Amino acid sequence: MIKKSFFSIALLTMMASCSKDTELVEVAGGNLSIEFDNVVGNEDFALDKAFDIDGKTYTFNSFRYWVSNIRLQKQNGEWIEIPNSYYLIEETKDIAIQDGAYNYPARKREQIDLQNLPIETYTAIEFGIGVDSELNDNLSITSGELSAMTGMTNISWMWHTSYIFTSLKGLAEDGTTKIIKIETGLNDNYRTVKIDFKTPVNLAQETRSKIEFKGDVLSLLGSFDSWETPVVGAQQLKQMKTISDHFSTNFFTLK
């Protein structure tokens, strides 16, 4: 059985002195950074930058998605699960929350830092895009960075509020201007991504390892006709499913 609690030496010593009947296993800490480098084709993703896509000009003012339930596969096939792993990858401007009562500040976040991982050799990583049904159906349960105050919730998905899994907003122009608002949500659109490493990742104590992914926005826009359907939400279930599938299978590549 894999033990998922990580204790400092001081804490182990203290607890061991309190109970001789409790088996405590120290897991030496390894550090791992995971970078999600969002791009548009061969260009780095940036807000308010003009991108030529299929002869039209796209500019974006927000791109956000939840990365959740991270786990790492050991060489023997066993998985190490990262508890409370809900992270918001995003590049966005200020967002007014609750009719302006609260302001979520502009933020660019592309990296997740995991600490105190078991010292092992890992061959693959798996993570979700979105929020699993248990927490998506009950916003009172918080874990990791999940919060209704991020502006990533929506009441139009169903009868009760749930999380927006992915969100891309901006403008598209071709003589006329269209508002781009492409969002996914709903439990059926939660997806899992599994990526095998090109070479095993060896974690060592006091040394930080790094995994780098590229996420291509151009591939998402190419998965459906984003000019004809610039707004995707609860009424566009077919497009939402297509985008969610694409996040799972084509959006991420290992750098």
DSSP string computed for 13-62:
HHHHHH-SSS-------EEEEEEEEEEETTEE--TT--EEETTEEEEEEE
Provide the 8-state DSSP code for 94: -
User: Between 156 and 216, whose confidence is greater?
Assistant: 216
Least-confidence region, from 65-74, 113-122, 141-150, 156-165: 156-165
* pLDDT confidence bin for 157, thresholds 50/70/90: confident
User: What sign for the dihedral angle of Cα 239, 245, 249, 255?
Assistant: positive
Q: Is the pLDDT of residue 20 over 70?
A: no
pLDDT-derived band at 91 (thresholds 50, 70, 90) equals very high
Q: Output the DSSP codes for 100-155.
A: TTEEEPPEEE-EEEEEEE-S-EEEEEEEEES--HHHHT-TTS--TT--GGGS-EES
What is the distance, to the nearest Å, from the Cα of residue 107 to the centroid of all Cα atoms in its chain? 15
Of 94, 98, 108, 101, nearest to 64 by C-alpha is 108
In which band, very low, low, confident or very high, does the pLDDT at 248 lie, cut at 50, 70 and 90?
very high
> For residue 255, what pLDDT is reported?
87
The C-alpha atoms of residue 113 and residue 100 are separated, in whole angstroms, by: 31
Q: What is the mean pLDDT of residues 104-130?
A: 96
Confidence of residue 233 (pLDDT cuts 50, 70, 90): very high
Taking all residues of the chain, what is their mean pLDDT, rounded to a whole number? Answer: 88
CB atoms within 10 A of CB 67: 21
How much is the pLDDT for 125?
A: 98
User: Confidence class of residue 19 from pLDDT cuts 50, 70 and 90?
Assistant: very low
Give ∠ CA 102-106-110 in degrees, rounded to 5. Answer: 130
Phi and psi, residue 221, nearest 5°: -65, -25
pLDDT of residue 5: 36
Which residues does 237 contact at the CB level (< 8 Å), separation at least 6? 186
Asked if residue 202 has pLDDT above 80, the reply is yes
Confidence of residue 170 (pLDDT cuts 50, 70, 90): very high
| Structure-model confidence comparison of residues 230 and 98, the more confident one | 230
Q: Is the pLDDT of residue 16 over 80?
A: no
CB 92 within 8 A of CB 106: yes
CB 252 within 8 A of CB 215: yes
Confidence of residue 4 (pLDDT cuts 50, 70, 90): very low
